[in-house]
A = this chain, B = another copy of it.
Amino acid sequence: MKRNTWQREAVRGALDANDGFISAQALHSALHATGSPIGLATVYRALADLAVEGDADSLQSPEGESLYRACSTNLHHHHLICRNCGLTVEIEADAVERWAKDVAGQNGFTQAAHVVDVFGLCATCTAKAA
């Protein structure tokens, strides 16, 4: 049976309090900053659990780190992410969903999944960089 621990709630809460995608290490640091004594391994485990349960989205940063985010919906969607400040916009794109399914089917592929992420500089960061 799965148990409820304050650690899991703490991770869930910290994820909710964070706007963009965040790494396990960064989330652990954030928790420590608030005085939480939670262990790093526990943060990794909690995030992995949240991801499989669908309560968190995860993606690989271009540098290969696993990042997590508590999105507003657990429905399938994608993200537009600022590579400077982490600002994240959730985007739906039925056209892309259809395209992914079609291209897989047309090539005889089954059990198709897809990775679709857009990275850029948000308006604020664009202005600052000017």
Contacts and interface: CB of A to CB of B under 8 A. Distances in A.
Copies in the complex: 2
Contacts of A64: 60, 64-66
Contact of A113 (B89, B107, B119): B119
A113 B82 CA distance: 11
A109 B65 CA distance: 22
Interface string A93-117: 1011001100110011111111111
Interface stretch (A2-10, A31-39, A44-52, A120-128): A120-128
Contacts of A82: 109
Nearest to A123: B108
A57 to B, nearest CB: 14
Contact of A89 (B62, B99, B107): B107
